[in-house]
Amino acid sequence: MSCSNDIVIVPDTDRDRYATFQFLGWWDQRRLREATVLVAGAGALGNEVLKNLALAGVGRLIVVDFDTVEASNLSRSVLFRESDRGRNKAEAAVDGVRRINPDVSVRAIEGDVALVLGGGVFRCADVTVGCVDNREGRLFLNRACLQAGKAWVDGAIHEMLGEARVFAPGRGGCYECTLVPADYEAMHLRYSCSSLARDGYVEGKVATTPTIASIIGGIQAQEVLKLLHGVDVSPGTAVVFNGLTNDVYNVTYPHHEDCLSHRSSGVIEECPGLSAASTTVAEMVAHVQSRLGSDAYVDLGFDLLVQFECVRGHSPELICAPITRVSESAARCPVCDSFRWPRQTHILRGTEPFKDRALGDLGVAPFAFVTGHTPGREARTFVLTGDHSRIFDFHAVREE
């Protein structure tokens, strides 16, 4: 008879809420406790993802959504209650997470993820989960995460069909690799030929069930837990579930070398003293020029509507906002009602008439990536790290 000297530690299932997980040989509760996961979208899918990550004990969760809770959400969203109707979905979901597990630090950010979060946020998060219901949102998450060098987990549901997939830098096809010309055409439908937002454009609602949201949200959460533990995943491959036939199969996407999402950020430089809220255009350009040379300039990465110019010569109107956030109706001249031509740019040189405005006033998101260019030399990416506490100070949020 042989004896083993190995010490066996039996988890205390009566006092430790995570005790059962310790029977999994690869599980590391400390790693989960120290992790930060960003969940974009707090609808049916987002609810399921948040529920599972909270139960698993993921330490910090950031929830982003612009929408409000409606009565129809209550039949598909486990975190919402009748009293949440009319509230922002992210805020309501945060309260639900706290009810499930008070150990988790969680905060809500109200707004469209493509408008309220810069690339530095995705760089600081360990994993991002996409629970959005439109191509534009997925394309933004794909480009932001790949530029930040981080993996993200996408989910999509329709009626009783759904899919979950992981996208990671340099490993298989990405979300944009899956898009065809018809997808880009559909995204452009919400904008006019001059890139202004079409008035009254509304996307259709997608019919789903709570069961398919639970299945796909569960797979997404499981992929997040695998990524956080360093367990192998299959980037660029979708797990597809057909609830009508109970078929489950994988689809592998091709990797396109010329895909725009694969563009590298080059050198990334942290800028703790710069933030979207307080740094002006002139200060940003001056910082870039101090690092790259006096002929350097800033590329915003989006088209800035500088002003409207009336075709009949009436006074121009300074706008200074991303052109996709300005509606077609705003282009009408208040004097003669004729269409005014939008003058736009994506370059800042520090000599603009709005040079003393803060970057955030121009639509630059908190913790954004700002690109500096010098003719003939490699671009450099500057991160507005001064916004870090604005996004990641969970304790301050709880005290409010």
Q: What is the DSSP letter of 89?
A: H
Complete DSSP assignment for 121-161:
HHHHSSEEEE--SSHHHHHHHHHHHHHHT--EEEEEEEBTE
Residue 15 three-state SS: coil
Residue 395 three-state SS: helix
**Of 220, 269, 210, nearest to 76 (Cα)?**
210
What is the maximum span of the chain, computed from C-alpha positions, in angstroms? 100
Assign residue 317 a region: left if phi > 0, alpha if psi is -120 to 50, beta otherwise? beta
The residue annotated as part of the active site, out of 131, 193, 259, 310, is 193
Cβ neighbours, 10 Å, residue 7:
5
Q: List strand residue ranges (DSSP E) for the chain, in order.
A: 36-40, 60-65, 105-110, 127-130, 152-158, 161-167, 237-242, 247-252, 267-270, 297-310, 317-322, 340-348, 369-373, 380-383
- List the beta bridge partners of residue 340: 310
| CA–CA–CA angle 232, 235, 240 (5° rounding) | 105
Residue 174 is a catalytic residue: no
**Of 239, 241, 237, 240, nearest to 253 (Cα)?**
237
**Of 65, 111, 215, 69, nearest to 155 (Cα)?**
215
Contacts of 103 (CB under 8 A, 6+ apart): 17, 33, 57, 59
Contacts of 256 (CB under 8 A, 6+ apart): 173, 177, 262
CB distance 45 to 89 below 8 Å: no
Query: Which residue numbers are catalytic?
Result: 193
